Structure 1
Amino acid sequence: MNGPTAATLTVGYYTAGDLPAIEPVLIDVYAEVYATEAAADPFFSVAKFTERLHAHARQPRWGCALGEVCGIPVGYAYGFARTAEYRWNGLLTPVPAADLEETDTRTFALCEVMVQAQWRGTGIARTLHEELLSHRIEERSHLLVEEDHPKVRALYERWGYQYMGTMQPYPDSPRYNSMIRTIP
């Protein structure tokens, strides 16, 4: 990792019961990371993010890896378990039916991986991602990357994710590359 050493980065793992204590931190980091996008598109507003955060935290086995350097929050990753009832709404491209079958332990929905700008390129995002996945019981991880962010998609491909299709999970959201990988 370039920049901070492993000794200066601390990562805590939190569950839905911890959300009231960490929610202000998650929202503050989001507001900083997505300030430009929020100014241009209401989908990225802090209010809409907060709605999604609450909806996600109500899902089974919500978990969050929150990273700090010298006690200052620098980023986080969070997600939840998909249930057997989950339907892949918003999938815009054909995908084999077997890839869409869910159980209560097949897929972890990785909703957010974000790191403040001054800490990007240091390995913190990967550390947060791997710490989050180390707590999972699911077989695979699924995430979405905006179509107009090829560098981010390439990063996730280096982490083992493969393109699955195109999704638009909300009517007001951008289109995303749907990506999936096995959780070791």
Structure 2
Amino acid sequence: MTDVMYARVNADTAAGLMDRLCEVYADAYGEVPGEDANVKTDAFRDRATGALPARNYELVIARAGDELVGFVFGYSLPQERDWFAGLDPAPEPGFTDERGGERTVVLAEIEVRKAWQGRGVGRGLHDEFLRSRREERATLSANPAATATHALYQRWGWQRVGTVPGRPGAYYREYVKFVRPLR
């Protein structure tokens, strides 16, 4: 088996990798009957490109030789992002305060090519991304029907904090929110 190497990449370099990131994303999800893969990949490209200017953006890539086999990216959550708007159950007072945008990092995407799933690459990306973050906690959103993924996140130390409604045009009507302390 080829060794997997992890590398941190800044936003400028990430922009140049966007086509390759889209390929990994499409491969990670595979073909879904009745679904236009281009629509989902185009939506990913829009999200990923939109994240590039975010505060403290960082991309971690996983390579096996010359092949890009996975990636994770995220950024510091700004107060105005309103990430937890409509959280059910309602959080305790202060839970949503970002205190200058340095309290929470969003783990926005973590994707691994199908052939590399189940080999620890996702966990390696996850750990490498979170290892050097300076925020107090991390958060992520998940598909509400992806219960196996929820269980995986919980094994990795994430706590489910509730659901939020999807925004207009969002892929899902609601999203499950998770939080994990970093310090």
TM-score between the two structures when normalised by the length of structure 1: 0.88
Change (3 A) 1:105 1:77: same
Structure 2 residue 165 is matched with structure 1 residue 168: yes
Contact 1:38–1:45 (8 Å) recurs in 2: no
C-alpha contact 1:90 1:170 (8 A) present in aligned 2: no
How much has 1:41 moved relative to structure 2? 6.5
The 5 A counterparts of 1:102-113 are 102-103=98-99, 104-113=101-110
Cα offset for 1:63?
A: 0.6
1:98, CA displacement in angstroms? Answer: 1.5
Closer, same or farther in 2 for the Cα pair 1:43/1:137, shift >3 Å? farther
Q: Which residue of 1 aligns with 2:83?
A: 88
Query: Structure 1 residue 170: deviation in Å?
Result: 2.7
Aligned-residue offset at 1:137: 1.3
Any idea what SS the aligned residue of 2:98 has? coil
The Cα offsets for residues 147-168 of structure 1, whole Å up to 9 and x where unpaired, read as 1111100000001000111023
Correspondence list, 1:25-174, <5 A: 25-37=20-32, 40=35, 45-88=40-83, 90-93=85-88, 94-103=90-99, 104-171=101-168, 172-174=170-172
Q: How far did 1:90 drift?
A: 4.6
User: How much does 1:88 deviate?
Assistant: 3.0
Unaligned runs of 5+ in 2: none
Q: Secondary structure at the match of 2:123?
A: helix
**% identical aligned pairs:** 26
C-alpha distance in structure 1 between counterparts of 2:182 and 2:43, whole Å: 29
